[in-house]
Amino acid sequence: MKILSGTETSKEIKEELKKEVLNLKSMNIEPTLAVILVGDDPASAVYVRNKQRTCTELGFQSIERKMPEDTKQEDLLAVVKELNDDPAVNGILCQVPLPPQCNEQEVIQAILPEKDVDCFHPYNYGLLAAGIPKFMPCTPFGVLQILKRYGYETKGKNVVIIGRSNIVGRPLSILMSLKEWNATVTVCHSQTAKLAEVCRSADILISAIGIPNFVQAHYVKKGAVVIDVGINRVHDPSHPKGSRLVGDVDFEAIKDLAEAATPVPGGVGPMTIAMLMYNTINAARFQEGLEKFEL
């Protein structure tokens, strides 16, 4: 089974983005990403740190707004407004999930659509559903870039996606059904009947459900390409931290069946961050009246 490395693919893409950052800087444009982190969820803190590190690596300006766990909705909205009003800020990302007293949808909708580099705002979601996306949803577009750069065509393929979340499953199903990708897409969820049988019909099987070892051998057709979007922390006393990250796919169980698969870690995760940087470059370009930079 071939390993589809998101670490390697994201490196390749980041090199392309670095060149574009230099090009923008030669026009006195400096891409700037603002990240809002509310509370002390350790996983969110790791994601945000990785995003900041990648900003530095690519030559972006980055702004971080850390807010306490008991932040009130109005105070969060005030920070969003301040970043909306700052012309130096091209992209705004508010890390989710938010603490329970905050209203996630209200925050997402408060971010100006032209700064919504997550592509979470209903306006950008609508453009995507209409087949005219401006920003690309980061994780779904990361999946498409891995497939493309390893030479796996989606045209005419049966794609089965496990999971219908707003961040991954649903936007990925929309993208793959567009003319540019031409896949035949099935979206599965907790109420899907004969799930394993449906998954076995997939030429490309994508799991975004968040349950360790969910995808077993009987879910995978011989020769299928398997994309594991899950990032699950499991208890492991043999590990220095007492835990480790695993995906949704039982990698050992599928290794003699699948033609190729993405590992966890080092698969889709690093792609998401690269795509966020890509969207931030385009946010800066659009705000300067320039056309879309294509990957």
First to last CA, the chain: 27
Type of residue found at 97: P
Run of H or E residues at 48: helix 42-58
The Cβ of residue 27 has, within 10 Å, a number of other Cβ atoms equal to 11
| Cα 258 to Cα 179: distance, rounded to the nearest angstrom | 26
| Cα 65 to Cα 37: distance, rounded to the nearest angstrom | 6
**231 forms bridges with which residues in the sheet?**
none
- Of 24, 37, 83, 94, the residue at the interface with ligand GUN (CB under 6 A) is 94
136 to 195, contacts with ligand GUN by CB under 6 A? 138, 167
250 to 279, contacts with ligand GUN by CB under 6 A? 272
Binding pattern to ligand GUN, positions 110-139, x when CB under 6 A? --------x-------------------x-
**Catalytic residue at 287?**
no
Decide whether 204 or 268 has the Cβ nearer to ligand GUN.
268
**Catalytic residue at 256?**
no
- Of 9, 10, 71, 95, the residue at the interface with ligand GUN (CB under 6 A) is 95
| Cα 145 to Cα 114: distance, rounded to the nearest angstrom | 23
Q: Of 6, 15, 84, 96, which is closest to residue 283 (Cα–Cα)?
A: 84
Q: Candidates 10-18, 93-101, 235-243, 258-266 — which segment interacts with ligand GUN by CB under 6 A? A: 93-101
**Catalytic residue at 118?**
yes
Decide whether 60 or 152 has the Cβ nearer to ligand GUN.
60
Spell out the residues 6+ positions from residue 82 whose beta carbon is closer than 8 angstroms to its own: none
**Catalytic hit among 116, 118, 228, 250:** 118
Using rule CB under 6 A, residue 93 touches ligand GUN: yes
As measured in angstroms, the least distance from the Cβ of 162 to ligand GUN is 17
- Across 46-82, b (16+ Cβ under 10 Å) vs e yields ebbeebbebbeebebebbebebeeebeeeebeebbee
Decide whether 9 or 95 has the Cβ nearer to ligand GUN.
95
As measured in angstroms, the least distance from the Cβ of 222 to ligand GUN is 32
As measured in angstroms, the least distance from the Cβ of 9 to ligand GUN is 17
Catalytic residues: 51, 95, 118
Residues found near ligand GUN in the complex (CB under 6 A)? 93-96, 118, 138, 167, 272
